[in-house]
Amino acid sequence: MTKTSNEMRMLVEEYIKITSINYEDQTEKVKEKSQMIEWQYRVGANVIVTKNVNREDRIHLNVNMRFPPEDSKLLIMSNASFSKAIMEISEICTICNVGHQWIKDKESIAGLAIFSHVDELDLDRITFHNTWDNVARVSGHVQKILRTNFSGFSTQNNSGQTTEKSMYG
């Protein structure tokens, strides 16, 4: 049966609550900046669950990794290690069926978003948490890839609270 946006929102909030991770309803704050967001929750340090106005049929789960300036200096196309990391990250995202997008600040790479979605017809607790765990697992792999390719890469993105903890324990 088709779910309304409000039904999806109520379900998502219930699914977040059972994780015992702090969350914030950011809907009003985000709507001040963008008319593209219908509702949004920020969970822990870096997980965003969003319902976009242009997609009636799904919600999006997104893990944002922000890089400190000292790490961003390494993420340039002329750095062979970065080219290698890009290929490895693309491969893991393809294998795990999640999307990724590099976040730029002017000419610098400021972060990386790992994302997936849950279709509204499939929105139940298990599917929601499986999608969240998959996005979190891939972001953990991405951090390992970056640390492996760059000596001293800090990946200080406050991910531990929401991406290294299973949604079930």
pLDDT digits (tens, 9 = 90+) for 122-133: 999 999 999 999
Ranking 51-55, 99-103, 151-155, 160-164 by mean pLDDT, the lowest is: 160-164
What pLDDT, on the 0 to 100 scale, is given for residue 156? 53
Give me 2's structure tokens: 């088709």
What is the average pLDDT value for the chain, to the nearest integer?
A: 88
Residue 50 lies in a domain: yes
Residue 108 is predicted with a pLDDT of: 86
**pTM listed for this prediction:** 0.84
- Selected residue with higher pLDDT from 160 and 35: 35
Is residue 119 in some structural domain? yes
Top pLDDT among 70 and 17 is at 17
Is 168 among the domain residues? no
User: How many angstroms separate the CA atoms of 60 and 54, rounded?
Assistant: 12
CATH of the domain at 77: 3.30.1460.10
> How many domains does one find in the chain?
1
What distance in Å separates the CA atoms of residue 80 and residue 109, rounded to the nearest whole number? Answer: 15
In a domain, 110, yes or no: yes
- Band the pLDDT of 107: cuts 50, 70, 90: confident
Q: Is 153 within a domain? A: yes
Q: For residue 155, is it within any domain?
A: yes
Q: What is the pLDDT of residue 162?
A: 47
Domain of residue 110, residue span: 5-163
